[in-house]
């Protein structure tokens, strides 16, 4: 399993409740792709959402986000952490 | 205290040991600014480092990174997490 950070842009003004709903939508279907979304963080002023996940591939992470209705194009494989 | 994610670019080919050293340099001086760097993640292929921190302001986070020798310009205040 690899670890990933994906970054969504343009989410200005998103509320905490909307973030929760989006994260729940991911959690509901992530098992189909062997992915787990550990955490999501929101900066509504700059419109960014960061999602930390584990999974078999970037493509699997992308498929979950796409099926959940919030596709992402910016995704990073995290090979080290400190 | 607020929570922040900052993003460093251009760190292609950075090793896990170099990430550890950079993170240690932050930890050593972060107290001066009332900041704590909780975690740092590296994607050496795309040259990205993500740092999650808590602190009084973006400027305080920036000052720690600058004093530690790796200034950052991209920083987000995280007002919600899921």
Q: What is the ipTM of this complex?
A: 0.94
Query: What was the pLDDT predicted at A56?
Result: 98
Contact check, Cβ <8 Å, A23/B78: no
Taking residues B60-71, report their average pLDDT.
96
- Using CA of residue A78, residue A81, residue B3, residue B7, what is the dihedral sign? negative
Confidence category of residue A68, pLDDT binned at 50, 70, 90: very high
CA distance B53 to A37: 20
pTM: 0.95
Report how many Cβ contacts below 8 Å link chain A to chain B: 88
B15-30 tens-digit pLDDT: 999 999 999 999 999 9
Contact check, Cβ <8 Å, A43/B3: no
CA distance B36 to B3: 10
Contact check, Cβ <8 Å, A81/B22: no
CB contact at 8 A, B1 and B54: yes
């Amino acid at each position: 399993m690899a670890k990933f950070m994906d970054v969504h842009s343009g989410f200005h003004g998103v509320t905490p409740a909307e973030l929760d709903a989006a994260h729940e939508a991911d959690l509901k279907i992530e098992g189909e792709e062997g992915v787990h979304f550990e955490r999501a963080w929101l900066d509504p002023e700059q419109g960014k959402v960061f999602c930390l996940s584990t999974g078999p591939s970037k493509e699997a992470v992308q498929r979950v986000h796409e099926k959940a209705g919030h596709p992402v194009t910016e995704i990073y494989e995290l090979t080290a952490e400190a």
